[in-house]
Amino acid sequence: MDQNPESAAERVGRTLFAERGMYRLTMLREMDPGFASLFEAWCYGGLYDRGVLDDRVRELCAVAALIPVNRPTVIETHLKAALRCGATRQEVLEVIFQSAVYAGMPDCLATLDQFKRLDDAGEFAGLGPSYGG
């Protein structure tokens, strides 16, 4: 990933998801270079880089979409990305609150519990306007 100019997928991975994004690219390239290429062209370098929605709105929608998916490491990545893209703590919480209507109370409460654990552990420090970012 070094002497070559940064690819679109690498730029998006680094900008939106920081270490987590770079880990994902490396992990997939080591596991299966062909699938990694498809992933990069489709996801980080594709849908995440279209610019139709600004990143703050796109990531708030990602949080909304990911709550029912119930994959904690994936939604953690996007909770942080939403903050990193300028969403406030209150806006991210609001998307989780609204999920009580769409996905049900258990999905809402479990996601609030996860948000609180991350927040209490200082995992959001430096991310976005609510966390001195």
| Contact positions vs a copy of itself (CB under 8 A) | 24, 27-28, 31-32, 34-35, 38-39, 41-43, 46-47, 50, 52-53, 57-58, 60-71, 73-75, 90-91, 93-95, 97-107, 109-110, 112-113, 116
User: What is the separation, in whole angstroms, between the first and last Cα of the chain?
Assistant: 27
Phi, psi of 6 (to 5 degrees): -60, 135
Nearer to a copy of itself, 3 or 90 (CB): 90
Q: Shortest approach of a copy of itself to residue 80 CB, angstroms?
A: 15
Nearer to a copy of itself, 2 or 52 (CB): 52
How far, in Å, CA of 131 to CA of 90, rounded?
11
How far, in Å, CA of 35 to CA of 98, rounded?
35
Q: Shortest approach of a copy of itself to residue 102 CB, angstroms?
A: 4
Q: Shortest approach of a copy of itself to residue 7 CB, angstroms?
A: 15
How far, in Å, CA of 133 to CA of 126, rounded?
4
127 residue type, one letter: L
